[in-house]
Structure 1
Amino acid sequence: MSTPEHSRPLPPDILPPDAPPSDGKAPHERAPHERASDALPPAVPSDAAEALRPQVAALVSRSTDGLIGVRELLDSTEPLAALGVSSLSLLRLADAVEETYGVFVDLGDRTLHTEGLRGLTDRLVRLGAEATP
């Protein structure tokens, strides 16, 4: 399947550099009952998320048909749901993120309803890092 021309992956300089899992163990060093997901998620470089935040705000705004403006999103610390991002808008947003950055956003993750733009952007950077070989 080819990637649409308007689709662009998260820029490599946005993603955190390769690092061992946050538990400090390489996959082959873990016991069979240990999973990488048991470890704390890696920290998100604040400059990477900051650089991506305006782009994500634009995607959120488009997903709400402009009902929530980019400036409002950038200035707010409120959860997206509190700003009026509906479940339909989240579905549109997930599609836009996947199409634009090639990152899958799980709509079953309840934190999408409780995080603001900062949390969403941090999550996208982490997901992009996990998807990068």
Structure 2
Amino acid sequence: MEPFNRWTRVAIDVTRYVCDRHTADPNFEFYGFQAADDLKYGPGSIYPVLRRLERAGWLLRRDEQETEQRDVGRPARTYYRVNPDNLGAIRQRVAELDARNRSAKRTPSFALRPLPATSTTTYPGGDDES
């Protein structure tokens, strides 16, 4: 299942982050604030993307257990990891998005053209002599 109808910059970056980290370490787990910090986005941008990736089946989640060591007063974290059943779909989507991004960078959407040269221009109230 495709998680997004329209891929935003945050969705692309989070998906690439997940794919790259999983490729480096298949057991990689992360929590939302960690991804937000690594990607330099606010948690309000990251968590909706994580929820959509989870609903689409691309990510699996687990809640931190009471027995796991954590700082006093810190609430339990939700950890995410790649769903191995959908790793192929994630890698394919990242490759497609990268290819689309590369082609968009090569084709400028506009061309800069110099303005035509003019001889002397007189401005109202302006005086060339100082």
The TM-score, its normalising length taken from structure 1, stands at 0.27
The structure richer in helix per residue is: 1
Larger Rg: 2
The TM-score, its normalising length taken from structure 2, stands at 0.28
Whose RCO is larger (CA < 8 A, sep 6+)?
1
